[in-house]
A and B are shown apart, each in its own frame.
Chain A
Amino acid sequence: MTNRAYKERESSEDWAVLSRAPEGASGNGATFLVGAWPEPPANTTEDPDPFSRDMFGWSVARHLHSTGGKLPPREVPLLNPLGSEFSVLTDLERQMAQFSAEEEEDFKRLRREYVLVNGPSVESFLRRHRSLLEVLLDAVAQIKACFGAESVLQLRLGSEDGDAPNVVCGFVQWTKSLEAARAALDEFDESWWMNNVRRASGRVVFDYELA
């Protein structure tokens, strides 16, 4: 147990656990700040095995408060990046990094598929409404199927109430007849958009623009 240390931070409501995982079988000897817990609610009861479950719940904090910060009387791999319950933290970081990388890839694809008018504003809007990116990317194949593979798609911000931008508008730059554009838009609506419009939460509009 000497390889672990608990550190009380500014108050009893703000705990952090600093752990050095034992070298050898269950860890690599590295030191990690694994988390901070607020004081548990008063109506909670003592958990006989604080490290057995619920690492983000109250069990650890409850144990620390009830024992005055003493360690539990058993060897528990408090932090093991290779497999203990605490490894979820490092896994969370990995997942977040992966999510971020995937999102950047989606934005790269968006720039390849749509001409962004005032690109930084459009991207900023889409970062605030993350679910829209997937809808816009999914729409590309459907738009091209209806309007033609060589269609140029433009994306720009719009406003439905004349105020701040609150929708993103995907326009097909159309060089043929108005009737053909209407027919293509009807086909797009019926074949795909009607079934997916809810995914956009009213924040995406598709239309054509005569070029």
Chain B
Amino acid sequence: MPEKVTIPISFFEYSADYARPIFAALMDRAAIVQRIFDALLPWKLEIDNVEPITTGKPSEQGVKFKIPGKKVTFLFGAGSCKFTKDDADWASAEETISILSAALGALKASTCAEISEQNVAVALHIQPKKAKFIDILKPFLSPAILDLEGEAVKTGASILKWDKRRVVLDGSGALANALFLKFERGFDGGASFLEIADQLKADEDALFKMLNVEEEL
């Protein structure tokens, strides 16, 4: 019987690298900003939620749009763009994809950017209803390391990386009696948002099954 869990904190991040840098995104960017602003207007984007980022390396600079009501940000720069969503869940996935599509579509239309690679990450703080988090975590910790001390381990982490995938399983540093699970995956530039969402859902389902947990909705 899977352990029932809640997910009080969750986070979704999408980033896309351009095939080659677009310097108009750093310099002559008024038209780009206007186009993205107009595209995000249906979600009540306001002028004060548009912020130029002028610090850091050139690849880190750009313009950031925030939609506080949707807990969404979109940042575009000369080499890549990044979209984040707090409190992400599958119930709001459709709307999240709509916002991302609108922002990225406007960016592509105004810059002719070609996306070479897309990366997505989902981070979840998972709180069991009854079990102790360490009992869920422990099977994934190496017995050899667990035996280092003669007392019960308090927390531990597993980080696994593949060519286009990465999984982090850890104790939560933000919530009491909770796990932290982050899974990331890379996609080529042509993958559609629907394909990406389907793959993420499949990844999440597989990880929850492995952990023997089930979200209480």
The yes or no answer to A25 lying at the interface (CB within 8 A) is no
Q: Is the CB of A116 within 8 A of B8?
A: yes
B178: chain A residues within 8 A (beta carbon): 115
User: A115-B127, A116-B8 given as contacts; is B174 within 8 A of A152 (CB)?
Assistant: no
A116: chain B residues within 8 A (beta carbon): 8
Q: How large is the interface on A (under 10, 10 to 19, 20 to 34, 35 or more residues)?
A: 10 to 19
Residue of B nearest to A117 (CB): B6
What count of chain B residues pass the 8 Å CB interface test?
11
Of residues 161 to 217 in B, which have CB atoms within 8 Å of A's CB atoms? 173-178
| Closest beta carbon of chain A to B212's beta carbon, Å | 18
Interface residues, chain B, with chain A CB atoms under 8 Å away? 8, 127, 130, 132, 152, 173-178
Q: Is the CB of B173 within 8 A of A112?
A: yes
User: A116-B8, A119-B8 given as contacts; is B130 within 8 A of A111 (CB)?
Assistant: no
Q: Is the CB of B175 within 8 A of A111?
A: yes
Q: Is the CB of B176 within 8 A of A152?
A: yes
Q: Is the CB of B176 within 8 A of A115?
A: yes
| Closest beta carbon of chain B to A152's beta carbon, Å | 5
Report which of B8, B152, B174 forms a contact with A108, defined as CB distance below 8 A. Answer: B174
| Closest beta carbon of chain B to A156's beta carbon, Å | 12
A211: chain B residues within 8 A (beta carbon): 130
Residue of A nearest to B154 (CB): A150
B132: chain A residues within 8 A (beta carbon): 150, 152
User: In the docked arrangement, what's the CA distance between A139 and B170, Å?
Assistant: 27
| Closest beta carbon of chain B to A150's beta carbon, Å | 7
User: In the docked arrangement, what's the CA distance between A153 and B173, Å?
Assistant: 16
